[in-house]
A and B are shown apart, each in its own frame.
Chain A
Amino acid sequence: MDLILQAAIIGILTGGVYALMASGLTLTFGVMEIINIGQGALVILGAYLIYVLEQKLHLDLFVGLLITMPLMFGFGLLIEWAFVRPLKRDRIMLSILVTFGVALVIEGLLGLIFTTDLVRLQAWYTTASFQVAGFYLSYIYVFGFLLSVVLLAALYFLIYRTKFGASLRALMENRTAAQLIGIPVERVSAITFGIGVALTAAGGMAFGATNSFNPGSSYDLISRLLVIIVLGGMGSLGGALIASVLMLVIEDVTAVIWSPIWSTTVFFIVLVIVLLVRPQGLFGQVAGRKQ
């Protein structure tokens, strides 16, 4: 029973980090109607950036975020401007291919610089642990979770309490109408994409501090993130949040009571069952038009 509780707690804590990464993806989708399949590679890039800062400048992981998040935001703007904005037709499909191309380039370059050896971010809180409910928990899980909560709260504030957020929500409702009432659609889209990428920088730090990674780790990540946003409902932030926690808790608990081998499979079975009942995901809107 203790083991299950432990698995559930870790599931919730890591679920928060996944929610952070998935919210960038689902937000980009909601606003721009594109899928940034490079999100996984960008997470890994974010982790390596922090790794470099920590190795060369001995910067604390969280302090490093002050540098990497603006940097990744700028990188996001660049990707949007160079590769996403020029797409005029078949945007869904071409955006997937284009961002996959970006992901391949990132993966290749990371491989050239860092080789494929597994690395892990180090700090006192990644090794030190404390006792709770009868088991030891590394501080990084709590810190990572808190980071996610703070950033998601900031994101919530940005979307629901600012003028920019109002434009962003207008775009999510109806892109054409937003354009007609004078919202600078291109600028809002670019900034949204940038925010999505900046969030992955933070997610990458938390991921890299709790997992060993190499340039190829992005595939596993992007598959999980995609599944999370489908389960939550594409474009739904709350859905992404709940689906992340659900996924990680189901996986961790299955690993404890059955076998780690089946943990992801069980989650996928849950996904298929949900989709059979609600093809649009837990909080998604129905696609297609009647009129």
Chain B
Amino acid sequence: MKSKPIWLLALLAAAVALPLVFPNPTITTIAVLTVIFAAAATAWNIFAGYTGYIALGHAAFFGTGAYSLAIICQHWHVPADFTPFALLPLCGVIAAVVSLPLGLVALRTRGHTFIVITIAMFFVAQLLAYDLRGVTHGSAGLSLPIPLWSGDFYNMPFYYAGLLILLLALAVSWWIRNSKYGLGLLAIRDDEDRALGLGVKTGPSKLLAFVISAFFVGMLGALWAYYIESIFPPFAFDALFDVAIALMTFMGGIGTLVGPILGALLLEPAQQLFAVYFGQSGWYLVLYGALLLVVILLLPEGIVPTIRKRWAQWTAARARSSPNSPAPAPPLPPSPTSQHPAIAARGEGGER
């Protein structure tokens, strides 16, 4: 257990050093998009993973953030330096404000209906981006200021800004996971009515988690908009965005702290490589779809829970073969649900 902070520091150092060691723009471009998606998946997991409510409309908040920054930059003639980075939190707040009424409506429903309503909300948002031409210029899109810096350095500020948001989202996720509030969210995931009957303020709790995740996703949308310089409705409000972050989270392990990041680290580079090699051709979609199918069929529980289970089985087997040797400590961060090696006994997914 003592080695844990050292491991974390090493990982952090590697993440910070990455673009300095590999300044190749192809690699740093993939790195920028990967940290953005890792952060988005982490933020999504704060809501969907902890409460068990699967939202598939967060692209609406991503797009809101993106358009917020573009519109602010146009109206206030924001210079193309580091100022837009300072505006990211504001864009996050705008997305959070937008998410509040949407969450109020959607969270009156549960299960399948909730999922489909969030999808519908996403489509409304995309439609509005097309239709509110006065502010969004419709399908003509909006341009953002083009950054003053260039060359190999171009990706660096975006990478570090994304990394910072990722660390922030991770910290918030960790904090919530270990708070009374977070325990309430997990109780909602398992049995919402019972949680309400035990004094958990289920309505406000769910809404707050929804808004927090929208805030982060909105910031990321704004960062992404500045990065790609011009935005159009189908890309800022992209159905693939929701599927991507949900898939990353599921692949890594939904409801776990590091699962979403792990999923993003594996999937986003793969997706970018497909895009680089197959570009606009249909093969890109075929491969991505096939990857999606393979991941779900092979790893339905996600990587982190599968590893935990295997590890616990292994230690249990070792403990049986040599009863006197102390059981080795699990290598994974002890989340509140895994403080005991009895995780081995955890059965195939519970009822909801």
Q: Do chains A and B touch in the complex (CB under 8 A)?
A: yes
Asked if A257 is at the interface of the complex by the 8 Å CB criterion, the answer is: no
Given A223-B119, A276-B108, A287-B113, 5 new contacts (CB under 8 A) = A88-B349, A90-B254, A101-B293, A223-B123, A227-B116
Report how many residues on chain B are interfacial, defined by Cβ distance under 8 Å: 45
A234 at the interface (CB under 8 A from B): yes
Are A227 and B120 in touch, CB under 8 angstroms? yes
**Would you call B54 and A103 a contact (CB within 8 A)?**
no
In the complex, the answer to whether B289 meets A97 with C-beta atoms within 8 Å is no
**A–B complex contacts, Cβ < 8 Å, 23 sampled:** A87-B300, A90-B250, A93-B54, A93-B246, A101-B296, A105-B286, A106-B289, A108-B282, A108-B283, A108-B284, A108-B286, A223-B120, A227-B116, A230-B116, A261-B131, A262-B131, A265-B124, A265-B127, A268-B127, A275-B105, A275-B108, A279-B113, A287-B112
Specify which chain B residues have a CB less than 8 angstroms from the CB of A100 in the assembled complex. 243, 289, 292
A-B contact count (CB 8 A): 144
With contacts A109-B286, A265-B131 known, is A288 near B348, CB below 8 A?
Answer: no
0 or 1 for each of A63-98: is its CB under 8 Å from B? (1 = yes) = 000000000000000000001001111101110111
Q: Is B290 an interface residue (CB 8 A)?
A: yes
Binary B-proximity of A239-257 (CB < 8 A = 1, otherwise 0): 0000000000000000000
Interface string of B113-133 (1 = CB under 8 A from A): 101110110011001100100
Flag whether B190 is at the interface (Cβ < 8 A). no
Contact, CB under 8 Å: B282 / A112 = yes
Within the assembled complex, what's the spacing in Å between the Cα atoms of A172 and B8?
Answer: 49
The residue in chain A whose Cβ has the minimal distance to the Cβ of B117 is: A230
Contact of B192 among A86, A98, A288 (CB under 8 A): A288
Interface of A is mostly: helix
A111 at the interface (CB under 8 A from B): yes
A288 surroundings in chain B (CB, below 8 A): 110, 192-193
Query: Chain B residues near A223 (CB, 8 Å)?
Result: 119-120, 123
A101 to B283, CA, bound (A): 13
Count of residues in A whose CB is under 8 Å from the partner chain: 53
A90 touches B300 (CB 8 A): yes
What are the residues of chain B within 8 A of A33 when measuring CB–CB?
112
Q: Which residues of A contact B54 (CB under 8 A)?
A: 92-93, 96
* Inter-subunit contact A226/B120 (CB<8 Å): yes
- The residue in chain A whose Cβ has the minimal distance to the Cβ of B292 is A101
When C-beta atoms are compared, the residue in chain B nearest to A37 turns out to be: B119
A: which residues have CB within 8 A of B? 29, 33, 35, 83, 86-90, 92-94, 96-98, 100-112, 215, 219, 223, 226-227, 229-230, 234, 261-262, 264-265, 268, 271-272, 275-276, 279-281, 284, 287-290
The residue of chain B having its C-beta at the shortest distance from the C-beta of A291 within the complex is B193
| CB-based contact A89/B348 at 8 Å | yes
On whether the beta carbons of A97 and B296 are closer than 8 Å, the reply is yes
CA distance A96 to B293 in the complex (A): 11
Contact between chains at A272 and B289 (CB < 8 Å): no
B211: CB under 8 A from chain A? no
A284 with B113, Cβ < 8 A, contacts A83-B293, A219-B239, A275-B105 known: yes
Give the docked Cα–Cα distance between A101 and B282 (Å).
Answer: 14
Instruction: Decide if B292 touches A104 in the complex (CB within 8 Å).
Output: yes
Complex Cα–Cα for A163 and B287 (A)? 42
Interface centre among B56, B108, B246, B282 (most CB of A within 10 A): B282
Selected from A97, A261, A287, the residue in CB contact (under 8 A) with B247 is A97
Query: What 7 A-B pairs come out closest when comparing CB atoms?
Result: A104-B289, A108-B285, A89-B349, A111-B282, A108-B286, A101-B292, A105-B289
Known: A88-B300, A284-B113. A98 touches B293 (CB 8 A): yes
A89 to B302, CA, bound (A): 12
Contact, CB under 8 Å: A94 / B300: yes
